[in-house]
């Protein structure tokens, strides 16, 4: 089992979700994040004092998948999240020892 985590631009979330569903993914978890990286932040001005805000709003998407699905899922995410502009984000894959479904207590494959 693997956990695929993607940090993407917020306005791509809908497309990523749709693409993952079409791929056959049944569930995922989303959370808010802010990113710092090559993409510059923005500037805000309050009463003439100018502030540089480094952090850029991002969305984190987490998907638990079978081992063999990890690579194709990364591809699906890249394809659906890509705008080709700096700051599109990252995807990474982490090994998972065990998964369980809270409702039923099922483990492993059945829990996803």
Partner 1 sequence: MPDINAGNTAWVLVCAAMVLLMTPALAFFYGGMTRSKSVLNMMMMSFGALGLVSIIWVLWGYSMAFGADVGGGLVGSPTEFFGLKGLMTEVVGAEMDDAGNAVAGTGIPAYAFVAFQAVFAIITVALISGAIADRAKYGAWLVFAVVWATLVYFPVAHWVWGEGGWILDKIEAVDFAGGTVVHINAGVAALALALILGKRIGFGKVPFRPHNVPFVMLGAGLLWFGWFGFNAGSALAADGTAAVAWVMTLVATAAASLAWMATEKIRDGHATSLGAASGVVAGLVAITPACSSVDALGAVVIGIVAGVLCALAVGLKYRWGYDDSLDVVGVHLVGGIVGTLMIGLVAVEEAPAGVVGLFYGGGLDQLGKQAVAAGAVIVFSFVVTLIIGLVIHKTIGFRVSGDDEIQGVDLTTHAETAYELSDATYGGHFAGGGPGGAVKAGVSAAKEGVSA
Ligand X SMILES: Nc1ncnc2c1ncn2[C@@H]1O[C@H](COP(=O)(O)OP(=O)(O)O)[C@@H](O)[C@H]1O
Contact status: 37 vs partner 1 (CB under 8 A): no
Q: Say if residue 29 is exposed, middle or buried (CB neighbours under 10 Å; 0-12, 13-18, 19+).
A: exposed
DSSP 107: B
Looking at the Cβ atoms of 51 and 57, the one nearer to ligand X is: 57
Alpha carbon dihedral 100, 63, 60, 96, in 10-degree steps, equals: 60
Task: Select the binding partner of residue 24 from its own copies, partner 1, ligand X, none (C-beta < 5 to 8 A, by kind).
Answer: none
Residue 8 contacts residue 88 (beta carbons within 8 Å): yes
Residues that bind ligand X in the complex, under the rule CB under 6 A: 7, 26-29, 35-39, 56, 58, 62-64, 86-90, 101, 103, 112
User: Where does this chain bind its own copies (CB under 8 A)?
Assistant: 1-3, 6-8, 17, 26-38, 54-55, 58, 60, 64, 70-71, 74, 77-78, 81-103, 105, 111-112
């Amino acid at each position: 089992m693997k956990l695929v985590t993607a940090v993407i631009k917020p306005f791509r979330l809908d497309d990523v979700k749709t693409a993952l569903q079409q791929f056959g993914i049944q569930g995922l978890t989303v959370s808010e994040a802010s990113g710092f990286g090559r993409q510059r932040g923005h500037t805000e001005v309050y009463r003439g004092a100018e502030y540089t805000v480094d952090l850029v709003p991002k969305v984190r998407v987490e998907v638990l998948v079978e081992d063999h699905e990890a690579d194709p899922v990364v591809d699906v995410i890249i394809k659906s999240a890509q705008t080709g502009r700096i700051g599109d984000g990252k995807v990474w894959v982490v090994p998972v020892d065990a998964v369980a479904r809270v409702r039923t207590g099922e483990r492993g494959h059945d829990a996803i």
